Amino acid sequence: MSEQGELRLLRTSLNRCLDAITATTIRDGGRAGWLSWDLAADGEPRRMVGGRPGLYDGDAGMAWALAALARATDRKDLGELAAAVAHTLCDASQPGLLSGQTGISLAQHAAGQTPRQLPDPSTVAGSDLTSGLAGLLLAQVRMGCCGPATLDAVERLTMMATQTPVGVCWPESNSSEGKPLCGMAHGNSGIALALAEAAAAYPPCAGKATELAVQALRWESAWFNPVLGLWPDLRTNPPVYPALWCHGAAGIAAVRLRLLHLRAGLGLPADQLRAEAEAAVAACGTELQRELSSGTMPAGLTLCHGLGGPLEALILAHETWNVKSHLGAARQYAAAALDTLEEDPLAWPSGLRASGSTGLFVGVAGAALVLSRLLNPEQIASPALLL
């Protein structure tokens, strides 16, 4: 397929994604929302439900995505829809970023609405990006509301860290049997990202946050397998070596590339970051080739555990190093994937054992963000980093 053919296919698919999102909107007066899958304990989809507020697969994620897509596509209707959804989001019972109140506040901020107050760090039990203090810390930065609570979150992460001979890690008491993990969603990469972002945005915490981030990177670096060029998913025994956003090389690549952008003012180890970024980006390219050659793509173009994560890593590599071949390769991979997927984005696989999801991390909204990034990276910030 020619370059122009690839771009036409990407643009057509993006428009289909946007049409699918607007067509499935459920409206009730001034309220708006979408259905999402309710999963059984074994991950089996049971039924679709409305009113789920979270960032990961609920209405907050839709508001966040639509606000970004409205700016990138110059579609006023998407911005109005984002504002309507954000304005009517209900509160969550948990404080987390991807599934709780922190994510709802971030989505309201992104959609131009007055956000609800972020949770107090003392109410957050865990440490990771998904539901713990790292997610709260990152939201504080993204919303421009760093202050004493930022210092408190960094201090709490310091106290929760486990010191090892090769850096620090954060065993989670509420997941993975208390194991420390590599990667973005529940592992050291997500925590290191939040610490570095806080250090760059709020100088009073820079010293402690930067040192903790460096120690977190040291621990994760010790798990790198130079033969495979990958990091393990330590939830399994023996471990597997994925290249996903949530666990593995795609999320690790995104973090390393972002830290290369932040390193100048923080004194982060540039050579280590670049070497690991190059390895992770190469692993993402290999994963894209593998999935496309197999023809399976069980999670489609979704961000969390689909091809959206590896594609976003290549886009970030293009932006960070100004290497156009990374963007060209990402466009080729995406066009090849779209060539095998059905025309209707709601029929694309989501990784949830059922199609039809519109959510940010496991559905059409996240795929639309990736497609928009592939077309015009400069018009939309990285969804993998919640920028």
How far is it, in rounded angstroms, from Cα 232 to Cα 220? Answer: 10
CA dihedral 188, 190, 193, 194 (to 10 degrees): -110
pLDDT band, residue 174 (cuts 50/70/90): low
Find out whether 375 and 327 touch, Cβ atoms under 8 Å: no
Q: In the predicted model, what is the mean pLDDT of residues 85-99?
A: 92
Tokens encoding 332: 């080729």
Q: Mean per-residue pLDDT for 179-196?
A: 97
In whole angstroms, give the CA distance from residue 85 to residue 278. Answer: 39
Q: For residue 171, what are its two tokens?
A: 């065993």
As a whole number, mean pLDDT of residues 361-371 equals 97
Per-residue pLDDT at 176 = 54
| Lowest model confidence (mean pLDDT) among 42-56, 181-195, 324-338 | 42-56
Q: Is the pLDDT of residue 253 over 80?
A: yes
* Residue 96: both structure tokens together: 């987390």
Whether residue 241 has pLDDT greater than 70: yes
State the DSSP H helix or E strand holding residue 259, giving kind and residue range, or none if neither. helix 249-262
The pLDDT, as a whole number, for residue 166 is 97
Kindly report, residue by residue over 300-337, the tens digit of the pLDDT: 999 999 999 999 999 999 999 999 999 999 999 999 99
Q: What is the pLDDT of residues 199-238, one digit of tens each?
A: 999 999 999 999 999 999 999 999 999 999 999 999 999 9
